[in-house]
Structure 1
Amino acid sequence: MDLKVSVITVCYNAEKFIEQAINSVLKQRYENIEYIIIDGASTDNTVSIINKYKSKVSFFLSESDNGMYDAMNKGITAATGDILYFLNSDDVFYDEYVITKIVNLFHKNKDIELIYGSIFVIRDPLINDSFVRSYDHMTKSSFVSDGIYQQAIFYKAELFKKCGQFDETYKIVGDYEWLLRAFYKYNIKRKYYGDIITAVFRYGGMSNCDKFSSLHSEERRKVVKQYFNIYQIYNSKFKRAFIASIKKFIR
């Protein structure tokens, strides 16, 4: 039986890009897709745009919420798929075969609970500043100063029963905390496929916006203290400083 994939988009005042996100889901060649959109009671044209595609959206909810992770948890609760994926309202799938490729990998690796790939990052479209973000050498210490973009990750739905949902006390780094919890508290079985680019990610969201930089740093420090000891934190910082100095010397 084909696995059902639940694609979840959470949004708020997303009229600029939401239609592109929706169309990238509808263009997927894989057929067994459940598309869920959770809107935080937008005040712009977001809802009217979504309503244009209402017949092709499996579940749509528009109401006020307590932040991004509250909305994402609503999406998890509504989902009936075997595999879950979160596509931000300002991002798109890399191509129309992404879900087909991922489902095939889950079929070939029955015991794997989470699969992640690479993503194409657009840092500044005005000067064509973009790059592919890969995760070839991620270790636990890498997570002190780094992480895996949510757009790279496909989850088996059962993980959110096993590991719990996103911690809504966080406003920006709830997905980062969840990943550390799943990887290093529950030791879930995961696999990385760097040759698969899952999505096109645009800079400018809460996690990389100057407006929220202080809150981002504060929340991240809290999570790091929870999952890493002092030695791991300072060892990671030393490695980063050393690598930066080497790169500067090479230039």
Structure 2
Amino acid sequence: MKTVGAARLADLPPPPAGTTGWPWTEESAPLPDKMPDGSDWPRISIITPNYNYARYLETTIRSVLLQGYPNLEYIIQDDGSSDGSVDLIRRYEPHLAYWSTEPNSGQPAVINRGMRRSTGSILAYINSDDYYLPGAFEAVALHFHQHPEADLVYGRCWFVDENEQKIGDHLGRLSSLDELLDLWDIWWCKRQIVQPESFWRRRIYETVGDFRTDLHIAFDYEYWCRMLTAGAVFQELNYATACFRFQPMQKTSNATRTAGEELAVVERWLWDKNVPLAAKRRRELQAQWFYHNCFLSTVENSMQRDESKLRRWTRVVFVCARHPQILAAPPFRTRLRTVMGL
């Protein structure tokens, strides 16, 4: 597998007419051949899965290639696109370590193929509607070099709209398995890891293996659960590394399906006694899971059917009797008063 040196603007195809700024008319300055202490820069392998995202793909490609990073391995795995993506990838072929287009098999399977081909000591994947910010690879490589205990590093992520206008700024804050499993007070309360900001070492990849191909959205969340279960050390990097694009066609725009997959993933860990969780913390999270997955769904179904208060009370009492852990969930009493008109 070949590596790619730092590309310069003059080396790449000209940008589309009217595009300016990063990564069209601006680039990161090429890094020195060695790190500040004289060490070699670690090889960074980046995988981009793509399926019919030609509209955004070129931004992603250029944001990888224009990092000025001297030891880069960039792999693009197209999943059978029919929108011109393949022609676009071919334009950048001289700067890629590898690329292929194969019949559609789903995002996790495509990422797995790229990861298996990779040779870098630092790994990441970035979807073809997201992109990196200048200097990201340098900041990540230096952090890993200075913190040999770190297995996964996540940086600051900018939220952008479909036209690449910044609409938000995010830095996740979690480092333990019980924090990651807490969807309610941490993950869904803006302390989550946003996927394109994350980078991890090959050693943890070799420990946990592939992404699960039976998950449509939460496969990265489940992957991080496996990492922390295996003892991985997660660290934050207060440096803007990537942009997450909000656009109409993205899978995560389906909030109900995303939450459903995450709840299904969490269920396995919360009831597996081999998962290292303190007993009290396990009970707290199980109570939240029952509240969200059983109590709220019961209430919402009753309200959608416009059932009488008596019928709704009956349903609520039944589900609470069946799953008494619900009573320990912090939002239970407030929500009960609201839905029952108390």
Q: TM-score range by the shorter chain?
A: 0.7 to 0.9
Check 1:53–1:227 CA distance in 2 against 1; reply closer, same or farther (3 A cut): same
Aligned counterpart for 1:132 among listed residues 154, 169, 174: 169
Percent identity of the aligned residues?
24
Q: CA deviation at 1:144?
A: 3.0
Asked if residue 199 in structure 1 is aligned to residue 238 in structure 2, the reply is no
TM-score by length of 1: 0.85
What letter is aligned with 2:92? Y
Please list every run of 5 or more consecutive structure 1 residues that lacks an aligned counterpart in the other structure.
243-251
In structure 2, the partner of 1:43 is 82
Conserved 8 A contact 2:175-2:234? no
1:120 to 158, 162, 165: 158
**Quick check: 1:141–1:232 contact (8 Å CA) kept in 2?**
no
Which amino acid in structure 2 is aligned with residue 201 of structure 1?
A: F
Shift of 1:109: 1.1
Matches within 5 A, 1:212-251: 213-228=255-270, 229=282, 231-235=284-288, 238=329
Inter-partner Cα distance in structure 1 for 2:216 and 2:57: 21
The match for 2:15 is none
Deviation at 1:234, TM superposition (A): 3.3
Separation (CA, whole Å) in 2 of partners of 1:23 and 1:241 = 49
Match of 1:181 in 2: 226
Contact 2:217 2:252 in 1 (8 A): no
- SS of structure 2 residue aligned to 1:102: helix
The higher-RCO structure (CA 8 Å, 6+ apart) is 1
Question: Could you say what the CA RMSD is over the residues aligned between the two structures, in angstroms?
Answer: 2.5
Asked if 2 retains the 8 angstrom alpha-carbon contact of 1:41 and 1:63, the reply is yes
Q: Greater CA radius of gyration, 1 or 2?
A: 2
Whole-Å separation in 1 of the counterparts to 2:231 and 2:86: 39
| In 2, Cα distance between equivalents of 1:152 and 1:233 | 29
**Shift in CA distance, 240/39, structure 1 to aligned 2, threshold 3 Å:** farther
The Cα of 1:141 is off from its aligned counterpart by 3.6
| Aligned residue pairs, count | 237
Residue aligned with 1:17, SS: helix
Rate the CA distance shift 1:214–1:190 in 2: closer, same or farther, 3 A: closer
Return the letter of the residue paired with 1:192: E
Encode CA deviations 1:100-139: one digit per residue, 9 max, x unaligned: 111011111122211111100125759x671111123565
Unaligned 5+ segments in structure 2 are: 1-39, 271-281, 293-328, 334-342
More strand, by proportion: 1
Change in Cα spacing, 1:40 to 1:82, as seen in structure 2 (3 Å) is: same
